Structure 1
Amino acid sequence: MTKSKALQTALIHSDYRPPEGFGALPTAIHHASTVLFKDVASMRARNWQEKSGYTYGLHGTPTTFTLEARLAEIEGGTHCLLAPSGLAAIAMVDFGLLKSGDDVLVPDNVYNPNRELARWLEQDFGVSARFYDPMVGAGIRDLIRPNTRLVWTEAPGSVSMEVPDIPAICRAVQERRAAGQAIRVALDNTWSAGIAFRAFEHGVDIVMQALTKYQSGGSDVLMGAVIVRDRELLRPIEMAHMRMGFGVSADDTYLVLRGLPTMKLRFDAHDTGARRVAAWLRQRPEISTVLHPAFEDCPGHAHWKRDFTGAGGLFSVVFDARFAEAQTDRFIERLRLFKIGFSWGGANSLCVPYRIQAMRRHWQGAGQLVRFNIGLEDPDDLIADIEQALAGLAEPA
């Protein structure tokens, strides 16, 4: 500019440019809605679907591109899209791959918001949604219809903890795809965080993750991700991502990036603590069943032993049928270290009751189900807390 700027203009347009060469370990936080182009030709040549450049904040900045690349590498995929939550990531898959007249198969033990989304698709969008026994394995072959386009899986179920035979389900779907049917398998791999189960190596086409859990580790971020290996499969999902306006905060992205270096260490610590607490609970007369995939009496344990390398901090227990809901609720409220709250993967231990008989068509048996998230506290302190809470089970209300 040839003349000095007015103060108001100077507040917006500065002549200062920082020197090149700054380096630091953390990924820089790039806040942007508007992305600047050096000239009109550059603007017109840029394609938001190609990650070789930037077009608009909604489609990514260096901060979000970095997280996407790292998540894809951790999971063993090649392409990743971020979403504002795990549920948003599920919706992105559904709306990317399903249209009116299509059919989707959903396991009966699925994350409940996924179930509600499937029902909404059926009610308002003309997509038939059917719920199957999560332990069906190769029997999924008999449930696939000519218009089935998507098979959701979850390993294990986030409440009832059944571990499905993912490779058998994938083989059945691959047979239909080889015969010309456009059908894919999507997996909610949040429980293992991409650490304990290598989904793509077992035949899964699409991996969904709730980064809210272990990737963040701080119980302070909502975010999700969809990861694939097939570029052509990515295209309809990224179109849904764009059309639904799914963007994520640069600050939240940074928090997830900050959590990744310690994720494996934290996951292993959660796993160690959870197995110790679960083993102690197995010896208690108040508990009829411990639903922990690493234990042989958990449905699908053989699949876990064959396919998984760890278990994290989440498991459930079923109380003896002699205890009513009011008693198990009182047990939860007597806990001091365990807090009442959903989610998992953070440092704090959590405990939540579920009315499982009303949630699962294939559930058998009585007794109140309670889910534990074992945090990073000392397991002996957590056991002592549970013990003092169990002591009040028999007390009158």
Structure 2
Amino acid sequence: MKKTHKDLHRATVLTHGGRPEGARVTVNPVVARTSTVVFDSMATLREALAGRARHERGLLYGRKGSSTGDALEDVITALEAGERTRLFSSGLAAMTCAILSVVRTGDHMLVIDSCYEPVRKFCSQYLAGMGVTHEFFKPDLSDLAEKLTPQTRLVWAECPGTALFEMCDLPALVEMARRHGNVTVAVDNTWASGLMYRPLEHGADMSVIAGTKYLVGHSDVMLGAVTTSAAAWPRLEEVADLMGHSVSPDDAYLALRGARTMAVRMERQQESALRLARWLQQHPLIRRVFCPSLPDDPGYAIWSRDFDGGNGLLSIEFIARVDGPMVDRFVESLQLFSIGHSWGGYESLALPMHLPSTRHLQGLDIGGNIVRLHVGLEDPQDLMLDIEAALSSLSALV
């Protein structure tokens, strides 16, 4: 008897999910490039339209999906343990559509204060004009219960958070939200990318990822995805169709190719990142290292309870005497860490983080400048030597 995806480890799902079936097929799905789908009769066309009205999958028009995209959606749905998945042209497109599928004029939304900065801007610059109010809550949930109101329709979480990787106790969050009735819980799951963490299994209604990161893995495709529960799916699909969201089959194919190796890439990158994190903790110019897989990290207990592993991200806080120009010099001195946004690809990256623009609530114990590092697939010993050389250039200035 053939095993279902629920019976398999997720590394196996990544290898076998979405592959063609039959006696003589290619190991990879074809890239189905088309805008037009033709039908052999009006009855067949009406059947396809009726199926879409019932939220069933089926070829109808290029903007509404392709067989290549369907294969990728199947892999992500199996990873996230959800009902269905919708692809988007970027992670932010996925996030904003997920939000708009829930909130309406007069609604109230709660957003974790450690969220991705463009989500913060979307709430203040777009949702406010729609008449949707929003507030931020602390990642430790200490103020969440008091901010939930009868008008709250959506709680937006991110676990771990951006920049400092604060952990969020999602089961506790879901329990608080459910006490207030019709409240949807959505989670930005990009950090774990569905492989290391599955929010839907902890009670969330939607899990959103920027597939641009670890899923694609090669820094060559922009992609987003939303995986939902059965109850949340119809409205998400409706809003995505109304807004014209679509993904090219070429991008879907490249993402599917990246997904095949995501498990081995993330395993290597988390091992290298943890090695660098432990080493950086001992350096005199570093005040603190932010990485939830470190045993002394404040979020380690939640991470070890709910996650299956980590990734290649960590942030370092310099001691107070290392000022902004010195941080710039450090970043520019690195030879193997490129300067750039994003992460999750095969390459190592470094980027200074400006927390005052990405946090609304007070209470952060930050006394120095922050640099986020993404550890790629390079040999960790080479990366350590590169960082050591860049830190040495600062020692004489401090």
Please confirm whether the aligned pair reaches a TM-score higher than 0.5, indicating the same fold. yes
Count of matched residue positions in the alignment of Structure 1 and Structure 2? 372
1:215 alignment counterpart:
215
2:113 alignment counterpart:
108
CA distance in 1, matches of 2:108, 2:169: 21
Query: Using a 3 Å threshold, how does the CA distance of structure 1 residues 109 and 67 change in structure 2: closer, same or farther?
Result: same
SS of 1:298's equivalent in the other structure is coil
1:69 alignment counterpart:
74
Whether 1:53 aligns to 2:51 is: no
Contact 1:278–1:292, Cα closer than 8 Å, also in 2: yes
Displacement of 1:200 in angstroms is 1.6
1:302 alignment counterpart:
301
Equivalent residue letter for 1:372: L
Whether 1:81 aligns to 2:86 is: yes
Displacement of 1:136 in angstroms is 1.4
2:367 alignment counterpart:
366
Equivalent residue letter for 1:330: R
2:225 alignment counterpart:
225
Pairs within 5 Å for 1:133-172: 133-136=138-141, 139-172=143-176
Deviations 1:271-325 (A, max 9, x none): 0000001111001000000000012333322211211121110111100011101
Contact 2:322–2:369, Cα closer than 8 Å, also in 1: yes
Equivalent residue letter for 1:367: G
The TM-score, its normalising length taken from structure 1, stands at 0.90
Deviations 1:17-74 (A, max 9, x none): xxx9852111110011111111112112323354342111111111111111111001
Whether 1:346 aligns to 2:345 is: yes
2:377 alignment counterpart:
376
Equivalent residue letter for 2:193: A
Whether 1:29 aligns to 2:31 is: yes
Displacement of 1:395 in angstroms is 4.7
Contact 1:161–1:298, Cα closer than 8 Å, also in 2: no
**Larger Rg belongs to:** 1
Pairs within 5 Å for 1:272-283: 272-283=271-282
Deviations 1:348-376 (A, max 9, x none): 00000011134223323210000000000
Contact 2:273–2:311, Cα closer than 8 Å, also in 1: yes
Gaps of 5+ in 1: 1-19
CA RMSD of superposed structures (Å): 1.6
CA distance in 2, matches of 1:128, 1:350: 36
1:7 alignment counterpart:
none
Instruction: Pick which of 194-203 and 326-335 moved more.
Output: 194-203
Query: Using a 3 Å threshold, how does the CA distance of structure 1 residues 239 and 44 change in structure 2: closer, same or farther?
Result: same
CA distance in 1, matches of 2:94, 2:139: 21
Contact 1:327–1:394, Cα closer than 8 Å, also in 2: no
Query: Using a 3 Å threshold, how does the CA distance of structure 1 residues 358 and 229 change in structure 2: closer, same or farther?
Result: closer
Deviations 1:373-396 (A, max 9, x none): 000000000000000000111455
Query: Using a 3 Å threshold, how does the CA distance of structure 1 residues 273 and 102 change in structure 2: closer, same or farther?
Result: same
Displacement of 1:166 in angstroms is 1.0
CA distance in 2, matches of 1:163, 1:29: 39
Gaps of 5+ in 2: 1-21
SS of 1:391's equivalent in the other structure is helix
2:12 alignment counterpart:
none
Contact 2:83–2:233, Cα closer than 8 Å, also in 1: no
1:389 alignment counterpart:
390
Equivalent residue letter for 1:229: S
Contact 1:161–1:299, Cα closer than 8 Å, also in 2: no
Displacement of 1:240 in angstroms is 1.2
Deviations 1:57-110 (A, max 9, x none): 111111111111111001111201001000000111111111110011111110
Equivalent residue letter for 1:126: G
Equivalent residue letter for 1:166: L
Contact 1:165–1:300, Cα closer than 8 Å, also in 2: no
CA distance in 2, matches of 1:310, 1:155: 13
SS of 1:97's equivalent in the other structure is coil
Equivalent residue letter for 1:304: W
CA distance in 1, matches of 2:150, 2:199: 25
Runs of 4+ displaced beyond 6 Å: none
1:270 alignment counterpart:
269
Contact 2:150–2:180, Cα closer than 8 Å, also in 1: no
